[in-house]
Amino acid sequence: MMKTYAGSCHCGAVRFEADIDFSLGTWKCNCSICTKARFWHPVVMPEAFRLLEGESALTEYQFNARNSHHMFCKHCGVHTFGWAEDADVGGKFYTPKIACLDNLTREDIEVLMQHVIYVDGRNDNFHSQPPEIRHL
C-alpha cells in the first residue's frame, strides 16, 4: 500500500517526503558503502520524492564509477537519501534511507521485513542476490 513517509537527518536540517509502497520491496546491498553504513532503502521515482528543507545543508559522496550520489547532511553527517540513474529502473530514482524515515509504524516494519531484495552491488550485479546476506 502506498503511503507518504516523512524523513529527516539527525539535526533536522534536511527534511523530505517520499511516497513508498514497501510491498514492492526494499534493497539491501553488499557493496562497500552500503555494508559499512548499513544502508537499507526503497527505490522511489522522482515524482514520489520531495526534498522539503535543507538543500543547502546537503553534500554528496561518490566513489568508484560515480554512478550513485550519496547525499548527507553536512551538519550532522547522516546519509538521508541517495539518487542515481539506471535505464533498468526507469531512469532517475531516489533511495531514501529506511533509518531516516520518521513515521514508520510496527505494521510498516512487518511489511519491510517480508519484502527485502538483496543485491550484489560488490560485483556490480544488481540483478542477483549475493552468496552471503546474514550481515546485511
Residues of the chain falling short of pLDDT 70:
none
Return the domain boundaries, the chain.
3-123
Instruction: Quote the pLDDT of residue 94.
Output: 97
Instruction: Quote the pLDDT of residue 38.
Output: 86
What's the CA dihedral at 70, 34, 21, 14 to 10 degrees? -40
Which listed CATH number (2.170.150.70, 3.30.540.10, 1.10.600.10, 2.40.160.20) goes with 3-123?
Answer: 2.170.150.70
Q: DSSP class of residue 102?
A: S
Summarize pLDDT for 50-70 with one digit per residue, the tens.
999 999 999 999 887 777 899
